[in-house]
């Protein structure tokens, strides 16, 4: 009965890919999936047993994978920008520019291996989006292509390629509540709890996480504030992935799709764990060009204590499912309702999409809504 209801809903949904976004998508990407599936668009739309554009996947599995593909394309775009400026420069990641030596040097207080980690995180995201899209195509389902939304300007600083981008790293509002969320022993966002910011001034206003031009390379504490912002942004992005995969995995149907989510998700957690450790090394300072931006000493009052301590980089045990159970060390949040839309909102609130078109937001909202409508089938 559930499946019938889902199917009926899908045929009347304004969010159907065939009825909506994909009809206006570029022909090449669209054609791949349809040809692989061997079905005409209309034929598939009227096939009761199949879901629109989902090929041999259930509609829900295809929708979840598509949202993840979009998220990974977005991650890839932002990580490539970081890598051009501060990552190890080699052929594993597109855009060998020589980097920006001053910006790279500003990461050294966080860790002497930051360039390697930035490079490796970037390479991982490239592989995630390429794999998920290839998997969708292999099942006759539509892949995701966001190329038409690559419209945002690049940094003008030395080391940045002058190519259009999907994401904006120059006006970020970084939510740093993940810091206290993972250190709390008594609170869990899935039980309605909220968490204080580690860097309150980063969670308001708009801050560059990359130098906007070479003018941002001085004075030194200003550039350090930019690198510190990036350091906390890295962890913000990767804790999002850490939550998104287990949250969506609860609603996939096919064991192989579950395997994909369970295999990619923990790599996001590996990234998060690394960045959480490095962010704790960000030097306390005030940005001389913006006295409102303050990186406090998290180990001293009014911070300090277990909720802020910088070397508490593993998740503290916390309540899980119900406070009647003993505390458990877990990823949080992981509740599944609205998880895709929650991820999209978090990225939007982060300022990553400042300057993007209404069509971009509409397309991503459609993907998120479709993913959040997915239900595990029998
Ligand atoms: Fe990823
Ligand atoms: Fe990631």
Task: Please state the domain extents for the chain.
Answer: 2-373
Tell me which ligand sits closest to the C-alpha of residue 68: 1
pTM of the predicted model as reported, rounded to 2 decimal places: 0.87
Beta-carbon contacts of residue 362 (< 8 Å; ≥ 6 apart): none
User: What pLDDT score does 195 carry?
Assistant: 98
Q: Is the dihedral of CA 269, 137, 130, 229 positive or negative?
A: negative
Q: Are strands 285-287 and 290-295 parallel, antiparallel or unpaired?
A: antiparallel
Residue 342 has pLDDT above 90, yes or no: yes
Of 8-17, 77-86, 202-211, 292-301, least confident by mean pLDDT is 8-17
Q: How remote is the CA of residue 241 from the centroid of ligand 2, in Å?
A: 6
Using the mean position of ligand 1's atoms as its centre, give its distance from the Cα of residue 267 in Å.
Answer: 7
Taking the C-alpha atoms of residue 360 and residue 363, their distance in angstroms, rounded to an integer, is 5
Total residue length of the chain: 378
For residue 20, pLDDT over 90 is answered with: no
User: Contact, 226 vs 157, CB < 8 A?
Assistant: no
The string of DSSP letters for 32-54 reads HHHHHHT--HHHHHT-TTS-TT-
What stretches of 84-207 adopt beta strand conformation (E)? none
Average pLDDT over residues 117-143: 98
Q: How far is the CA of 198 from the centre of ligand 1 (A)?
A: 24
Q: What percent of the chain has pLDDT over 90?
A: 85
CA of 43 to the centre of ligand 2 (A): 37
Distance 2 CA to ligand 2 centre (A): 33
What is residue 98's three-state secondary structure?
coil
| Ligand showing the shortest atom-to-Cα distance for residue 274 | 2
Higher confidence at residue 16 or residue 129?
A: 129
Can you tell me the distance from the alpha carbon of 352 to that of 76, in angstroms, rounded to the nearest whole number?
Answer: 13
| Distance of CA 208 from the midpoint of ligand 2 (Å) | 20
Summarize pLDDT for 254-268 with one digit per residue, the tens. Answer: 999 999 999 999 999
Q: Which ligand is nearest to the CA of 73?
A: 1
Structure tokens at 305: 């204590």
**Cα(238) to centroid(ligand 1), Å:** 8
The environment of the single-atom ion ligand 2, i.e. residues with CB closer than 5 A, is 75, 238, 241, 268
Q: What is the pLDDT of residue 36?
A: 39
The DSSP H or E segment spanning 127 is: helix 114-138
Q: What is the mean pLDDT of residues 94-101?
A: 94
Ligand 2 centre to CA of 368 (Å) is: 18
The share of the chain scoring above pLDDT 70, in percent, equals 86
pLDDT tens-digit map of 131-174: 999 999 999 999 999 999 999 999 999 999 999 999 999 999 99
The CA 52 to ligand 2 mean position distance, Å, reads 29
Spatial distance between the Cα atoms of 33 and 134, rounded to a whole number of angstroms: 10
How confident is residue 53, by pLDDT bands cut at 50, 70 and 90? confident
Half-sphere exposure of 43 (CA within 13 A, CB side): 7
- What is the C-alpha separation between 156 and 241, in angstroms, rounded? 29
Q: Tell me the average pLDDT of the chain.
A: 89
pLDDT at 13 over 60: no
Least confident of 4-18, 100-114, 317-331: 4-18
pLDDT tens-digit series, residues 303-335:
999 999 999 999 999 999 999 999 999 999 999
pLDDT for position 299: 97
CB 246 within 8 A of CB 331: yes
For ligand 1, the distance from its centroid to the CA atom of residue 243, given in whole angstroms, is 12
Ligand closest in space to the Cα of 239: 2
Q: 289, 179 in Cβ contact below 8 A?
A: no
Task: Give residue 295's pLDDT.
Answer: 98
Tell how far the Cα of 1 is from the centroid of ligand 2, in angstroms: 37
Give residue 21's pLDDT. 38
At 26 the pLDDT is 37
pLDDT at 54: 83
**pLDDT band with cut points at 50, 70 and 90 for residue 47:** very low
Nearby residues of 259 by Cβ (< 8 Å), 6 or more positions away: none
Is the pLDDT at 48 greater than 80, yes or no?
no
Question: Which is nearest to 183 in space by CA: 303, 344, 282?
Answer: 303
């Amino acid at each position: 009965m559930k499946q019938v209801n889902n199917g009926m809903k899908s045929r009347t949904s304004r969010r159907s890919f065939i009825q909506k976004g994909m009809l206006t998508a570029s022909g090449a990407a669209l054609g791949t999936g349809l040809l692989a599936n061997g079905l005409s668009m209309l034929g598939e739309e009227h096939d009761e047993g199949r879901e629109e554009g989902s090929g041999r996947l259930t509609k829900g599995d295809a929708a979840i994978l598509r949202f993840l593909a979009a998220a990974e394309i977005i991650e890839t775009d932002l990580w490539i920008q970081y890598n051009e400026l501060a990552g190890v420069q080699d052929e594993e990641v597109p855009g060998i520019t020589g980097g920006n030596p001053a910006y790279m040097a500003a990461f050294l207080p966080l860790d002497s291996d930051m360039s390697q980690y930035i490079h490796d995180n970037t390479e991982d995201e490239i592989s995630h989006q390429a794999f998920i899209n290839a998997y969708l195509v292999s099942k006759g389902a539509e892949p995701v292509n966001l190329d038409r939304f690559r419209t945002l300007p690049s940094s003008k600083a030395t080391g940045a390629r002058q190519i259009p981008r999907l994401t904006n790293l120059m006006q970020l509002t970084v939510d740093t509540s993940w810091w206290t969320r993972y250190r709390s022993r008594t609170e869990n966002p899935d039980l309605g709890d909220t968490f204080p910011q580690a860097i309150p001034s980063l969670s308001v206003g708009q801050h560059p996480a990359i130098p906007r031009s070479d003018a941002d390379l001085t004075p030194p504490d200003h550039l350090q504030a930019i690198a510190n912002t990036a350091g906390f942004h890295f962890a913000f992005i990767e804790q999002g992935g850490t939550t998104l995969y287990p949250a969506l995995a609860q609603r996939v149907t096919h064991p192989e799709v579950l395997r994909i989510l369970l295999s990619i998700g923990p790599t996001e957690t590996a990234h998060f764990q690394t960045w959480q450790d490095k962010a704790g090394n960000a030097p306390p300072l005030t940005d001389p060009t913006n006295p409102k931006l303050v990186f406090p000493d998290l180990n001293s009052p009014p911070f300090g204590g277990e909720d802020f301590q910088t070397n508490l980089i593993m998740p503290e045990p916390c309540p899980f499912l119900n406070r009647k159970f003993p505390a458990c060390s877990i990823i949080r949040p992981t509740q599944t309702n609205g998880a895709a839309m929650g991820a999209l909102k978090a990225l939007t609130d982060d300022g990553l999409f400042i300057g993007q078109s209404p069509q971009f937001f509409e397309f991503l909202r459609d993907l998120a809504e479709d993913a959040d409508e997915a239900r595990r089938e029998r």
